[in-house]
Amino acid sequence: MVGGVGGDLDKVLPNKIQWKAQNYNHLHEAPTVFYAVALVLAITGWGDGMNATIAWAYVGLRIAHSLVQALWNRIMVRFTLFLLSSLALIALIVHAAMVVFH
């Protein structure tokens, strides 16, 4: 398809292929914030203990989310994993803000 847009592929590709492509796009959203926050916490010396535990929980939840989206794609399961990973990321953001602005 010459001159088409990404959305045109939704009409052509099977759902199971689209799930993987959509997951790839999602990996360029919230995880990029995680990288920045993790770097701030590591550089300031606050990347261990509870923050490390929260960070690993975030990574595990995002891996689980990716697997669910790519292989099974049940919306409620994905939403639950996304919500839990977002809460972990928010906690890390708050901790990083406390370190930087305190």
CA dihedral 84, 85, 91, 93 (to 10 degrees): -150
For residues 99 and 46, is the Cβ–Cβ distance under 8 A?
A: yes
Q: What's the whole-number average pLDDT of the chain? A: 91
Average pLDDT over residues 80-91: 97
Tell me the pTM: 0.84
User: Cα–chain-centroid distance for residue 63?
Assistant: 8
- The confidence score (pLDDT) of residue 88 equals 98
Confidence of residue 17 (pLDDT cuts 50, 70, 90): confident
Q: Helix, strand or coil for residue 1?
A: coil
pLDDT confidence bin for 2, thresholds 50/70/90: low
Contact (Cβ atoms closer than 8 angstroms) between residue 20 and residue 74:
no
Q: pLDDT tens digits, residue range 30-40?
A: 889 999 999 99
